[in-house]
Amino acid sequence: MELERISTLYKEALDEIGKVIVGQVELVEGILTALFSEGSVLIEGPPGLGKTLLVNVLQRVVSCEGKRVQFTPDLMPSDLTGHNVYDMSEKKFHFNKGPIFANLLLCDEINRSPPKTQSALLEVMQEYQVTVDGTRYEIPRPFLVLATQNPLEHEGTYPLPEAQVDRFMFKLLVDYPSPREEVDILAHYATGKNFKNLESFGVQPVLQAEDILDIQRSVTQVHVEHQVIDYIAKIVAKTRAWPSLSVGASPRGSVSLLIAARTIAACRNRDFVTPDDVKEVAPWVLRHRIRLRPEAEIEGLSPDEVVQQVLDSVEVPRS
């Protein structure tokens, strides 16, 4: 697909989502970037900020099969993957596919379930397949996991396994709207629009499954200079030796940083990656892959502040 076409579809998708979602520009851009990059997204924020609504709108903008799973403490791994059922008449087992067999999988409040259930996503997020009773089943493509979670200090939440957190390409944050944005949200209701009835917003599909697969193939052709590759490697290496951090980013993080920067460049109608592209996506890619030391947390440092410190310490390559 031509870069100009990718850029046009990206902007059209932003406009359609913007008919419903007020503000949250970084969140919407991050989700579309992950979709075009073949990555998954972890969305964190307090309840009531529109995380689930955004995913429902995305399912309308992208003409793909979407399924939603509400994670609860009693949710079992087979409730996600599916299970074998014995057919008495045919005297053999049949596999009943679970909701994981979809293009867009919304895992709502993923940290409400214990680690055993959360780990059911590990294989599918990395290898796009599910293994049940020794048999492998391919997941339809494109495939995107969008998981929402409440902050860990909220009651009834479980921390996600580190191996699973690392498989999310991005972690995106949702914050409270500004006073102006909240007025716009209320104006939707005042004019008769209802977020429970998305038909009232006139959202139109602009992306087909074939478009997304074509975009995913096309972004791999975006050129990355050796200096930019070296820049990414230095950023990730810095996180592993940074005094405020006990754990730095993994090699999967550096690969995600490269892929995301390529996608952002393509969405900006460019066939090459700049250091600014890397800086733009660095917080999305790194904030969940680093762990602060206890003393840094006591001082009130946030992962985003540390990521910015790391970026400021690495010399930007010049063309």
Beta bridge partners of 132: 135
Q: How many other β-carbons are positioned within 10 Å of the β-carbon of residue 201?
A: 17
Domain coordinates of the chain in residue numbers?
3-215, 222-313
pLDDT digits (tens, 9 = 90+) for 177-220: 889 989 988 888 888 787 777 778 888 899 998 999 999 999 99
Nearest to 108 by CA among 149, 136, 74, 142: 149
Angle (deg, nearest 10), helices 226-241 and 251-267 = 140
pLDDT digits (tens, 9 = 90+) for 10-25: 999 999 998 888 888 8
Token pair listed for 225: 């200079």
pLDDT digits (tens, 9 = 90+) for 139-162: 888 999 999 887 755 555 677 778
Token pair listed for 218: 């096309």
Residue 123 has pLDDT above 90, yes or no: no
Is the whole model's pTM more than 0.95, yes or no?
no
Nearest to 100 by CA among 73, 135, 125, 136: 125
Domain 3-215, classified CATH 2.40.50.40, yes or no? no
Tell me the CATH number of domain 222-313, given options 3.20.20.20, 3.40.1110.10, 1.10.8.80, 1.20.1440.230: 1.10.8.80
* Alpha-carbon distances, residue 8 vs 157, 188, 209, 261 (angstroms): 40, 27, 16, 18
